[in-house]
Amino acid sequence: MEKIIIPLAVIAGLLLLIIGAAFFIKVKLSRFSRSAFGTDDIIKGYNEQKKKLSETPRSVHSMTDIYLPQIHRDFPEFDYERYREMAQTVLRGYFNAISTGSTASLPNEVTLALKNHIIEIIEGLNESGHRQYYVEPVLHNTQLARYFKDGATVTVLFNIAVGLYDYVEDENGNVISGSRDEKLQTIYEVGLIYLQDADKMGVYNEALGLNCPNCGAPIKNLGMKFCEYCGAGVVEVNTRVWKFNSVKEITKRKTVF
Protein backbone atom coordinates (compact mmCIF):
# COMPACT_ATOMS: atom_id res chain seq x y z
CA MET A 1 0.00 0.00 0.00
CA GLU A 2 2.82 2.41 0.85
CA LYS A 3 4.40 1.87 -2.57
CA ILE A 4 1.18 3.08 -4.19
CA ILE A 5 0.46 5.98 -1.82
CA ILE A 6 3.91 7.57 -2.20
CA PRO A 7 3.82 7.95 -6.03
CA LEU A 8 0.30 9.30 -5.87
CA ALA A 9 1.39 11.84 -3.32
CA VAL A 10 4.28 12.88 -5.56
CA ILE A 11 1.95 13.23 -8.54
CA ALA A 12 -0.49 15.25 -6.48
CA GLY A 13 2.34 17.52 -5.37
CA LEU A 14 3.50 18.04 -8.92
CA LEU A 15 -0.02 18.88 -10.02
CA LEU A 16 -0.29 21.45 -7.26
CA LEU A 17 3.02 22.96 -8.33
CA ILE A 18 1.87 23.13 -11.95
CA ILE A 19 -1.47 24.68 -10.97
CA GLY A 20 0.32 27.17 -8.73
CA ALA A 21 2.81 28.08 -11.46
CA ALA A 22 0.03 28.48 -14.00
CA PHE A 23 -1.91 30.70 -11.60
CA PHE A 24 1.23 32.75 -10.90
CA ILE A 25 1.90 33.20 -14.64
CA LYS A 26 -1.73 34.15 -15.25
CA VAL A 27 -1.57 36.79 -12.53
CA LYS A 28 1.68 38.16 -13.94
CA LEU A 29 0.26 38.26 -17.48
CA SER A 30 -2.89 39.97 -16.23
CA ARG A 31 -0.84 42.60 -14.43
CA PHE A 32 1.33 43.14 -17.51
CA SER A 33 -1.71 43.33 -19.78
CA ARG A 34 -3.44 45.75 -17.43
CA SER A 35 -0.32 47.92 -17.34
CA ALA A 36 0.37 47.78 -21.07
CA PHE A 37 -3.13 47.63 -22.57
CA GLY A 38 -5.50 48.64 -19.78
CA THR A 39 -7.25 45.26 -19.68
CA ASP A 40 -6.68 41.87 -17.98
CA ASP A 41 -7.24 40.07 -21.29
CA ILE A 42 -3.81 40.17 -22.96
CA ILE A 43 -5.08 38.88 -26.32
CA LYS A 44 -7.86 41.45 -26.42
CA GLY A 45 -5.45 44.17 -25.34
CA TYR A 46 -2.88 43.18 -27.96
CA ASN A 47 -5.49 43.21 -30.74
CA GLU A 48 -6.80 46.59 -29.62
CA GLN A 49 -3.24 47.93 -29.57
CA LYS A 50 -2.65 46.60 -33.10
CA LYS A 51 -5.76 48.39 -34.30
CA LYS A 52 -4.73 51.60 -32.55
CA LEU A 53 -1.23 51.53 -34.03
CA SER A 54 -2.58 50.81 -37.51
CA GLU A 55 -4.59 54.02 -37.28
CA THR A 56 -1.80 56.17 -35.82
CA PRO A 57 0.17 58.11 -38.47
CA ARG A 58 3.94 58.00 -38.44
CA SER A 59 5.52 61.24 -37.27
CA VAL A 60 7.18 63.41 -39.91
CA HIS A 61 10.12 65.57 -38.90
CA SER A 62 9.65 69.02 -40.40
CA MET A 63 12.61 71.11 -41.57
CA THR A 64 10.40 73.76 -43.15
CA ASP A 65 11.49 76.57 -40.82
CA ILE A 66 15.13 75.92 -41.70
CA TYR A 67 14.99 75.25 -45.44
CA LEU A 68 12.07 77.36 -46.68
CA PRO A 69 13.84 80.70 -46.03
CA GLN A 70 16.84 79.36 -47.98
CA ILE A 71 14.61 78.34 -50.88
CA HIS A 72 12.92 81.73 -50.96
CA ARG A 73 16.30 83.49 -50.96
CA ASP A 74 17.33 81.45 -53.98
CA PHE A 75 13.92 81.35 -55.66
CA PRO A 76 11.70 84.24 -54.44
CA GLU A 77 8.80 83.07 -56.61
CA PHE A 78 8.81 79.51 -55.22
CA ASP A 79 5.21 78.68 -54.22
CA TYR A 80 5.73 76.32 -51.32
CA GLU A 81 2.06 75.49 -50.72
CA ARG A 82 1.50 74.75 -54.41
CA TYR A 83 4.41 72.33 -54.62
CA ARG A 84 3.54 70.79 -51.28
CA GLU A 85 0.05 69.99 -52.59
CA MET A 86 1.48 68.86 -55.91
CA ALA A 87 3.79 66.43 -54.08
CA GLN A 88 0.67 64.83 -52.62
CA THR A 89 -0.90 64.68 -56.09
CA VAL A 90 2.22 63.01 -57.47
CA LEU A 91 2.21 60.42 -54.67
CA ARG A 92 -1.46 59.62 -55.25
CA GLY A 93 -0.72 59.30 -58.96
CA TYR A 94 2.16 56.95 -58.14
CA PHE A 95 -0.10 54.71 -56.05
CA ASN A 96 -2.84 54.72 -58.69
CA ALA A 97 -0.45 54.03 -61.59
CA ILE A 98 1.02 50.92 -59.95
CA SER A 99 -2.35 49.69 -58.68
CA THR A 100 -4.01 50.02 -62.09
CA GLY A 101 -1.00 49.23 -64.26
CA SER A 102 -1.36 52.53 -66.15
CA THR A 103 0.56 55.81 -65.95
CA ALA A 104 -2.38 57.83 -67.27
CA SER A 105 -3.06 59.28 -63.81
CA LEU A 106 0.43 60.79 -63.45
CA PRO A 107 0.44 64.61 -63.56
CA ASN A 108 2.44 66.52 -66.16
CA GLU A 109 4.79 67.75 -63.44
CA VAL A 110 6.71 64.45 -63.26
CA THR A 111 9.93 63.85 -65.17
CA LEU A 112 10.29 61.22 -67.86
CA ALA A 113 12.72 59.39 -65.58
CA LEU A 114 10.10 59.01 -62.83
CA LYS A 115 7.48 57.90 -65.32
CA ASN A 116 9.88 55.32 -66.76
CA HIS A 117 10.70 54.08 -63.27
CA ILE A 118 7.01 53.47 -62.58
CA ILE A 119 6.63 51.71 -65.93
CA GLU A 120 9.53 49.41 -64.97
CA ILE A 121 7.76 48.53 -61.70
CA ILE A 122 4.54 47.75 -63.56
CA GLU A 123 6.34 45.66 -66.18
CA GLY A 124 8.22 43.76 -63.48
CA LEU A 125 4.96 42.92 -61.73
CA ASN A 126 3.36 41.83 -65.01
CA GLU A 127 6.28 39.54 -65.83
CA SER A 128 6.01 37.83 -62.45
CA GLY A 129 2.23 37.55 -62.67
CA HIS A 130 1.82 39.69 -59.56
CA ARG A 131 -0.25 42.78 -58.83
CA GLN A 132 0.67 45.51 -56.36
CA TYR A 133 -2.20 47.36 -54.71
CA TYR A 134 -2.24 50.59 -52.73
CA VAL A 135 -5.78 50.86 -51.38
CA GLU A 136 -7.44 53.82 -49.65
CA PRO A 137 -4.28 55.89 -49.14
CA VAL A 138 -4.69 58.66 -46.59
CA LEU A 139 -2.01 61.36 -46.61
CA HIS A 140 -1.82 62.56 -43.02
CA ASN A 141 1.02 65.05 -43.03
CA THR A 142 3.39 66.56 -45.59
CA GLN A 143 6.52 68.43 -44.59
CA LEU A 144 9.62 69.88 -46.22
CA ALA A 145 12.46 67.51 -45.29
CA ARG A 146 15.56 68.62 -47.23
CA TYR A 147 16.86 71.22 -49.67
CA PHE A 148 20.22 71.00 -51.38
CA LYS A 149 22.13 72.19 -54.46
CA ASP A 150 24.86 70.37 -56.35
CA GLY A 151 25.72 72.91 -59.05
CA ALA A 152 23.68 71.40 -61.86
CA THR A 153 20.41 70.87 -60.03
CA VAL A 154 18.46 72.00 -57.01
CA THR A 155 16.43 69.44 -55.06
CA VAL A 156 13.55 69.82 -52.61
CA LEU A 157 12.43 66.71 -50.72
CA PHE A 158 9.00 66.32 -49.14
CA ASN A 159 8.23 63.66 -46.54
CA ILE A 160 4.63 62.45 -46.47
CA ALA A 161 3.09 60.30 -43.71
CA VAL A 162 0.72 57.80 -45.32
CA GLY A 163 -1.76 55.25 -44.04
CA LEU A 164 -2.97 52.66 -46.56
CA TYR A 165 -3.58 49.01 -47.34
CA ASP A 166 -0.47 47.87 -49.19
CA TYR A 167 -0.33 44.31 -50.53
CA VAL A 168 0.78 42.14 -53.43
CA GLU A 169 -1.31 39.38 -55.00
CA ASP A 170 -0.09 36.43 -57.06
CA GLU A 171 -1.68 35.23 -60.29
CA ASN A 172 -4.39 33.43 -58.30
CA GLY A 173 -5.38 36.49 -56.29
CA ASN A 174 -3.69 35.27 -53.10
CA VAL A 175 -1.96 37.86 -50.94
CA ILE A 176 1.76 37.08 -50.81
CA SER A 177 2.88 40.20 -48.92
CA GLY A 178 1.16 42.96 -47.02
CA SER A 179 -2.46 42.75 -45.93
CA ARG A 180 -5.90 43.58 -47.25
CA ASP A 181 -7.22 43.96 -43.71
CA GLU A 182 -4.44 45.56 -41.67
CA LYS A 183 -3.48 49.12 -42.50
CA LEU A 184 0.14 50.12 -42.91
CA GLN A 185 1.47 53.42 -41.59
CA THR A 186 4.62 54.54 -43.38
CA ILE A 187 6.47 57.53 -44.85
CA TYR A 188 7.19 58.37 -48.49
CA GLU A 189 9.72 60.81 -49.86
CA VAL A 190 8.81 62.80 -52.97
CA GLY A 191 11.60 64.66 -54.76
CA LEU A 192 11.24 67.94 -56.65
CA ILE A 193 14.12 68.96 -58.93
CA TYR A 194 15.12 72.17 -60.72
CA LEU A 195 17.76 72.32 -63.45
CA GLN A 196 19.72 75.50 -62.78
CA ASP A 197 22.77 74.97 -65.02
CA ALA A 198 22.42 72.89 -68.18
CA ASP A 199 26.17 73.04 -68.88
CA LYS A 200 26.87 71.12 -65.68
CA MET A 201 24.32 68.36 -66.20
CA GLY A 202 26.70 65.60 -67.28
CA VAL A 203 25.54 62.36 -65.60
CA TYR A 204 22.35 64.05 -64.42
CA ASN A 205 20.73 63.59 -67.82
CA GLU A 206 19.48 60.21 -66.68
CA ALA A 207 17.93 61.73 -63.55
CA LEU A 208 15.72 63.92 -65.70
CA GLY A 209 15.14 61.33 -68.41
CA LEU A 210 17.09 63.28 -71.01
CA ASN A 211 17.29 60.50 -73.57
CA CYS A 212 15.95 60.01 -77.07
CA PRO A 213 12.50 58.39 -76.83
CA ASN A 214 13.23 56.42 -80.02
CA CYS A 215 16.74 54.96 -79.62
CA GLY A 216 17.54 55.80 -76.00
CA ALA A 217 20.67 57.80 -76.81
CA PRO A 218 21.56 60.60 -74.37
CA ILE A 219 20.47 64.12 -75.29
CA LYS A 220 23.70 66.08 -74.90
CA ASN A 221 22.29 69.49 -75.77
CA LEU A 222 19.13 70.44 -73.89
CA GLY A 223 18.04 72.66 -76.77
CA MET A 224 18.20 69.87 -79.36
CA LYS A 225 15.06 69.22 -81.36
CA PHE A 226 16.33 66.08 -83.14
CA CYS A 227 18.38 63.14 -81.92
CA GLU A 228 21.90 63.27 -83.37
CA TYR A 229 22.02 59.45 -83.51
CA CYS A 230 18.73 58.42 -85.12
CA GLY A 231 17.23 61.74 -86.22
CA ALA A 232 14.00 61.29 -84.28
CA GLY A 233 12.30 64.41 -82.96
CA VAL A 234 12.78 65.12 -79.27
CA VAL A 235 11.01 67.48 -76.91
CA GLU A 236 13.13 70.44 -75.94
CA VAL A 237 13.75 70.42 -72.20
CA ASN A 238 12.64 73.45 -70.25
CA THR A 239 15.56 74.26 -67.97
CA ARG A 240 13.66 76.73 -65.84
CA VAL A 241 10.90 74.65 -64.37
CA TRP A 242 10.42 72.49 -61.30
CA LYS A 243 9.67 68.81 -61.91
CA PHE A 244 9.02 65.86 -59.60
CA ASN A 245 11.63 63.20 -60.29
CA SER A 246 11.44 60.62 -57.49
CA VAL A 247 9.07 58.75 -55.18
CA LYS A 248 10.27 56.24 -52.62
CA GLU A 249 9.30 54.78 -49.30
CA ILE A 250 11.82 55.80 -46.66
CA THR A 251 10.56 53.87 -43.64
CA LYS A 252 13.38 51.44 -42.86
CA ARG A 253 11.07 48.55 -42.10
CA LYS A 254 7.48 48.05 -43.19
CA THR A 255 5.61 47.22 -40.03
CA VAL A 256 2.10 45.91 -40.60
CA PHE A 257 0.02 46.22 -37.44
pTM: 0.68
Establish how many alpha carbons lie within 13 A of residue 79's alpha carbon, considering only the half-sphere containing its beta carbon.
Answer: 8
- Report the candidate in 187, 160, 177, 159 with the shortest Cα–Cα distance to residue 249: 187
Count of structural domains, the chain: 2
pLDDT score, position 140: 93
Cα 246 to Cα 233: distance, rounded to the nearest angstrom? 26
* pLDDT tens figures, 187-222: 999 999 987 655 554 444 544 555 666 776 666 555
Q: Do both 13 and 132 map to the same domain?
A: no
Q: Do both 34 and 77 map to the same domain?
A: no
Q: Is 253 exposed, middle or buried (0-12, 13-18, 19+ CB in 10 A)?
A: exposed
The domain in which residue 174 lies consists of 58-196+239-249
161 in any annotated domain = yes
- Range 88-117 average pLDDT: 94
What pLDDT band is residue 186 in, cutting at 50, 70 and 90?
very high
pLDDT score, position 43: 59
108 in any annotated domain = yes
pLDDT score, position 62: 86
CATH of the domain at 105: 3.10.450.240
255 in any annotated domain = no
pLDDT score, position 215: 74
